């Protein structure tokens, strides 16, 4: 049973039906986040320190959320109460990723006085709040406890493209360092996608591509469970390949789900820009970016999930 609804008020606006964008690292969730952030009436944040501290605590030690019950939801609500504040000072503390989503210049180009800098969105125009912080997927249950009317948007992408993206991302790879991998204390471990004793025993000597594939496999398994447990009106899945192929149709589907218009122009323009960045956003770019050995490792680890999601193995 979900907790009793709690009305959060930000800058005089009641937080109703907040939107949370979920997906594995390099799933393409950033494209959807940019489109939502640049749509009228939305205030979307990502990577705010207060939120990250809480969500990564839940992601790396799921028992914290389970043991605290409704207290976990209260902690997460408090984090968003601070994160969603709209002011020049709050915007000045925004991480580079959040500012980039809004199309703002780097901090160095902004005035020093936060009161002069202004915010990324005019407060009176905001009617909906959203967040697209990394790895929110692992806090999905707590999000729905904290905000029982929340709407979740999850992005699914070919795991081979996801692994190719992760292999080139130092921040993703940093989680695999011995000092950060907590498999000795948390098992099964949803964050690292390790569910079997043999996988845990082989973890230290596993290739990086294997570790990335485990993370993707774990995320899509979690997404599948979330789909089964969440009412249809509160969870909408976007297939990345379909978003790239027809961004206008994807924008219309998301708009219908949210009950609010998402800019077709913004999403179409972002996808076109992404297509020029073939190393990151190109569909099927794994063919050039993964070695034959890495591809074999990924398909061995995550082949079942790839087939289930309609991604054929052994494609040329």
Structurally, what CATH architecture does the domain formed by 9-86+121-308 represent?
3-Layer(aba) Sandwich (3.40)
Answer yes or no: is pLDDT of 77 > 80.
yes
Q: Would you state the pLDDT for residue 123? A: 62
Q: Which residue did the predictor score with more confidence, 111 or 36?
A: 36
Q: Of 96-100, 232-236, 242-246, 284-288, which range is least confident?
A: 96-100
Long-range contacts of 297-300 (CB under 8 A, 24+ apart): 297/207, 297/209, 297/210, 297/213, 298/159, 298/160, 298/163, 298/209, 298/210, 298/212, 298/213, 299/160
The 3-state secondary structure of 45-64, one letter per residue: ECCCHHHHHHHHHHHHCHHH
Q: Would you state the pLDDT for residue 194? A: 97
Q: Would you state the pLDDT for residue 144? A: 95
Radius of gyration of the chain (CA): 19
Q: In the structure encoding, which two tokens stand for residue 263, read together? A: 């800019």
Contact 31, 16 (CB under 8 A): no
Of residues 293, 315, 4, 53, the one with CA closest to residue 167: 293
Residues paired with 42 in a beta bridge: 128
Sheet holding 128-131, edge to edge: 42-45, 128-131, 19-23, 151-156, 235-239
Q: Outline where DSSP puts E strands in 89-173.
A: 128-131, 151-156
* Over residues 21-37, mean pLDDT: 93
Instruction: Sketch the domain layout of the chain as residue ranges.
Output: 9-86+121-308
C-alpha distance across the termini of the chain, in Å: 47
- For residues 10 and 259, give the distance between their C-alpha atoms in angstroms, rounded to a whole number: 21
pTM of the model: 0.91
């Amino acid at each position: 049973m979900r907790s009793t609804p709690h009305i959060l008020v930000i800058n005089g606006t009641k937080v109703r039906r907040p939107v949370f964008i979920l997906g594995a690292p390099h799933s393409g969730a950033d494209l959807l986040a940019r489109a939502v952030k640049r749509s009228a009436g939305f205030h979307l944040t990502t990577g705010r320190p207060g939120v990250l501290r809480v969500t990564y605590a839940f992601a790396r030690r799921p028992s914290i959320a389970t043991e605290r019950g409704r207290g976990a939801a209260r902690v997460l609500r408090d984090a968003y109460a601070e994160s969603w504040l709209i002011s020049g000072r709050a915007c000045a503390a925004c991480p580079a990723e959040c500012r980039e989503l809004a199309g703002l210049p780097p901090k160095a180009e902004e005035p020093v006085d936060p009161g002069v800098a202004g915010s990324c969105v005019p407060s009176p125009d905001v009617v909906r709040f959203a967040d697209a912080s990394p790895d929110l997927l692992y806090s999905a249950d707590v999000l729905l406890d904290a905000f029982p009317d929340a709407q979740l948007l999850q992005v699914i992408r070919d795991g081979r493209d996801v692994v190719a993206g992760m292999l080139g991302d130092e921040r993703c790879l940093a989680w695999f360092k011995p000092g950060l991998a907590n498999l000795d204390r948390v098992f099964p471990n949803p964050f690292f996608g390790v569910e079997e004793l043999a996988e845990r025993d082989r973890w230290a000597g596993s290739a990086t591509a294997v570790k990335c594939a485990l993370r993707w496999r774990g995320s899509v398994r979690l997404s599948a469970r979330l789909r089964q447990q969440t009412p249809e009106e509160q969870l909408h899945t976007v297939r990345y390949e379909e978003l790239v192929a027809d961004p206008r149709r994807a924008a219309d589907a998301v708009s219908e789900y949210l009950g609010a218009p998402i800019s077709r122009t913004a999403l179409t323009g972002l996808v076109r820009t992404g297509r020029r960045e073939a190393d990151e956003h190109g569909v099927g770019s794994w063919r050039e970016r993964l070695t034959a050995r890495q591809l074999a490792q990924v398909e061995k680890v995550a082949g079942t999930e790839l087939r289930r999601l309609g991604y054929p193995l052994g494609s040329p």
